[in-house]
Structure 1
Amino acid sequence: MLQVTDAFGCTDSDQIDVTVNEVPTFTVTNNTNAGTGQICSGSIIDINLTSPTIGAIITLQPVVYGGFVTGGLYAAGGTFANGNTITEGGGLINTSNAPVSIVYTFSVATPDCTNPVTQQATIVVNPSPVLSITNSTPSICSGSAVNVLLNSATSGAVIRITSVNYGSVTGGTLSAGSTFTPGSSITESLINSGNTR
């Protein structure tokens, strides 16, 4: 309330109302792969957006999918409400041999106020592993060594034997679960004591 008085003692008053709007708040929760943010190529994501502020609009900032990730559906300026989820429904596909990180950045505002603080969720799209096998010894004499080269261009790849069947051949030492790094070779001498191949 304001009052004004002139030189003759006459007064007048007026009231001014000011509405103080709250600054909107929000939360970005990356539930992808149990919260790790890591996916295999072709998988969907799970980023949940929430805001307790009535009328809040959450806006996506520019997303850089890069030259190696396809399937991204979201563009800068996309808006979301409380409870919305980003999934990239078609799946994100990594066409390279190494993991690629995608960063989703969000801001929040109401018609009256904007929160200057942004929040991010990072997704790591791992490539589909590629396996290359070169068998230099498809046929050997009993007692000779096999030479099988195992390779993968995929960064961080681990090559694992899922099953092996030696039959009646002896000398084999490998079993399901045996692991190799790319560039390793299987070299073991095998003995056929029978009369069959």
Structure 2
Amino acid sequence: MELKTENPFQLFEQWLDEAKESEPNDPNAMALATADSTGQPSVRMVLLKDVDERGFVFYTNLESNKGHDLAENPKAGLLFHWKSKRRQVRVKGLVEAVSPEEADAYFASRARGSQIGAWASDQSRPLESKFALEKRVAKYAAQFGIGTVPRPEHWSGFRIVPQYIEFWQDGKFRLHDRFVFTREDSQSPWQIDRLYP
């Protein structure tokens, strides 16, 4: 594999577009790794909702485990794995909150049921029964009626501002292609290195 761009976001968007043609489910799925203030790591799958030159964006309940981790330790790692393409992309960087306007716009684009669910779910906290959740969903559905569902204050987005983006392409005999883009901060130019597989 030879690089045809020195911009990792352009290469990522190309790979994501190609994955959309071949992945059976959620080509925008990514493993999100966080750590709390003690350094205890945690990883889970989330969905990428936006990417541009500023970074990689996902949305969540701010009171969830990942929300607490990121409030305590605003750094994260991402992993995209596209099995159908035999490719993966790793990202590491600092995390910042998206603007309220960005969060409002994305929340407004969600299905109404998902909007109600954001109000009803005390994400990551104990749930006594499925029926208790269904009651909460019914409560908020009745509260908002047929009107607009506002974004809850406890629900917003995070942007991972990358300092490290690694592209991995499977190769024969495990002689994989690996390119890594690194930079000191978001204002610094990218340095590109090829890595041993």
TM-score range, shorter chain: under 0.3
Q: Which has the higher contact order (CA 8 A, sep 6+)?
A: 2
When the two structures are superposed, what TM-score results if normalisation uses the length of structure 2? 0.21
What's the TM-score once normalised by structure 1's chain length?
A: 0.21
Larger radius of gyration: 1
